[in-house]
Amino acid sequence: MKEALFYKKLDDKKVRCLLCPHRCVISNGGHGICLIRKNIEGTLHQTSYGEVTSINMDPIEKKPLYHFHPGSDILSVGTNGCNLNCAYCQNFSISKNITLRQKVSPEELLSLAKKTNSIGIAYTYNEPTIWYEFIYDTAMLFQKSGLKNILVTNGYINPEPLEQLLPYIDAANIDLKAFSEDKYKMLGGSLKEVLNTIETMYRKDIHIEITHLAVENYTTDIKEFDELCRFILSINKSIPLHISRYFPCYKLNLPPTRNDFLLELFDVAKRYLSYVYLGNVLHNNDTTCPVCGAKLILRNGYKITSFISDNTCPICKSSLYFSF
């Protein structure tokens, strides 16, 4: 447990958390929407500092990051809690503070990353930004050791804490869950704030990739998805987009996303974007040069065969969007 950053003390031992756009006002003994930031006698605490629910070594492609050090392994950690409330949450046992935690220090994680030849650490599984204090300390330590820091995030964070964290972050996969304020409100968030996070990360030279979990007739329709793709295009057409198939989970029992609908989304995205991938479904996810069509990376699940080592196509010499 550690005193939280980004909060304001109020009267009657209440506090206002300033980490994310919810700006929760929390009474003494209560916690924010995220469940892991608690008011104890008028001081806001991060209750899961140095405590994890999961530690694994994953292929970097599992985050998913297809264009960041492809073929590498990454130490992946997460804790409890989330600041959104998606009815289809894929990791609800940890986001709803059910799974038990175990203690670990930033130094222990660094030692483990070095022993396993990881390129760094990914903060993932739950929403990492609500674990802010631990991530901030750990990210500084990893950066000093020459290792990478990766966020797998819903992007729902206020500008000030985001700006303070980003100098230590190398890459991020941001989950762009929908493209309307009404649908984001249903999920407990705001589209505007997430778009600001994406734009800020790109402006700060963070390697970014975007995931959209396609839930047909719930968060995803063709018109809004077209707008989503055009938003990415307005930043950089080379930002990879991962369209992921939904399966029933947690409180939502809609049928799995139809393959035909996923392929329709794929075709829409390819009108605008250079790199589009389908997840949770059998599909050819090889990476090809957007100019000449040359095969750059062959993919078999999370296993890859790469023909590139820099940001240049070996055939036509055009520039690519990769980080090595």
Would you tell me the crossing angle of helices 222-235 and 259-272 to the nearest 10 degrees?
30
pLDDT at 167: 98
Of 306, 270, 247, 301, the C-alpha closest to 89 is 247
- The answer on whether 89 is annotated among ligand-binding residues is yes
Kindly state the tokens that stand for 274. Answer: 């250079």
The DSSP output letter for 290 is T
**This model's pTM is above 0.85:** yes
- The answer on whether 20 is annotated among ligand-binding residues is no
Question: Residue 111 and residue 96: Cα distance in Å, rounded?
Answer: 29
pLDDT at 134: 98
Domains of the chain, by residue range, sit at: 2-46, 51-283
Phi–psi pair at 131, nearest 5 degrees: -95, 30
Length of the chain (residues)? 324
Question: Residue 284 and residue 301: Cα distance in Å, rounded?
Answer: 10
Q: What superfamily does domain 51-283 belong to in CATH?
A: Aldolase class I (3.20.20.70)
Query: For residue 8, how many other CB atoms are within 10 A of its CB?
Result: 12
Kindly state the tokens that stand for 225. Answer: 């998805």
Question: 228-284, pLDDT tens digit by residue?
Answer: 999 999 999 999 999 999 999 999 999 999 999 999 999 999 999 999 999 999 999
pLDDT at 303: 94
Of 72, 244, 219, 212, the C-alpha closest to 147 is 72
Q: Are 121 and 152 in contact (CB under 8 A)?
A: no
Question: Residue 131 and residue 79: Cα distance in Å, rounded?
Answer: 8
To which residue do tokens 């599992």 refer?
62
Per-residue pLDDT of the chain (324 residues; tens, 9 = 90+): 999 999 999 999 999 999 999 999 999 999 999 999 999 999 999 999 999 999 999 999 999 999 999 999 999 999 999 999 999 999 999 999 889 999 999 999 999 999 999 999 999 999 999 999 999 999 999 999 999 999 999 999 999 999 999 999 999 999 999 999 999 999 999 999 999 999 999 999 999 999 999 999 999 999 999 999 999 999 999 999 999 999 999 999 999 999 999 999 999 999 999 999 999 999 999 999 999 999 999 999 999 999 999 999 999 999 999 999
Integer angstrom CA distances of residue 109 from 106, 114, 117, 118: 5, 9, 12, 11
